[in-house]
């Protein structure tokens, strides 16, 4: 039992450090379910990317957006015609090679986030299961 008691309540006074530790622990415990939900949602997103075959729709969307941008910036096609008819084909080929890399990069980013969240969740869960021992003030 702590020697430094609040004379009105009969309870030991909490130090400023104890209050900060308790608040930090409480915030970590509050974040635990949110982080677990985020990690589980990353699994869903990753599975959707891998199984849905998003490669072709993303590629088609990018090509149409590029074509629309050309139509807005050069409505009379003067600039496009001066560059040659192969400019759109070259850009389409560049997009065809870039989109798989973007999808692969997205999956790698999801994997990295999952690894980080798993480590953070394990640390917070360990803190939840093993509360710190408070030493009495002298």
Residue 102 binned pLDDT confidence (cut-offs 50, 70, 90): confident
What pLDDT was estimated at residue 54?
64
pLDDT of residue 34 exceeding 90, the answer is: no
pTM: 0.56
Q: What is the mean pLDDT of residues 49-74?
A: 76
Where are the alpha helices (H) located in the chain, listed in sequence order?
16-51, 55-73, 78-83, 86-129
Residue 27 tokens, joined? 């915030």
Q: What is the mean pLDDT of residues 47-58?
A: 73
What pLDDT was estimated at residue 1?
46
What is the domain partition of the chain in residue ranges? 16-129
- Following CA atoms 42, 44, 48, 51 in sequence, which dihedral angle do they give, to the nearest 10 degrees? 110
CA atoms within 13 A on the CB side of 57: 4
């Amino acid at each position: 039992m702590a020697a430094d008691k609040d004379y009105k309540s009969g309870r030991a006074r909490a130090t400023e450090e104890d209050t900060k530790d308790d608040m930090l622990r409480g915030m970590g415990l509050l974040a635990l379910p949110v982080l677990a939900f985020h990690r589980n949602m990353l699994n869903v997103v990753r599975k959707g990317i891998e199984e849905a075959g998003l490669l072709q729709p993303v590629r088609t969307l990018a090509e149409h957006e590029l074509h629309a941008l050309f139509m807005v910036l050069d409505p009379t096609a003067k600039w496009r015609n001066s560059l040659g008819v192969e400019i759109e084909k070259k850009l389409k080929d560049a997009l065809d090679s870039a989109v798989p890399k973007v999808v692969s990069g997205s999956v790698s980013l999801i994997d990295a986030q999952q690894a980080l969240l798993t480590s953070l969740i394990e640390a917070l869960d360990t803190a939840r299961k093993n509360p710190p021992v408070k030493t009495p003030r002298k």
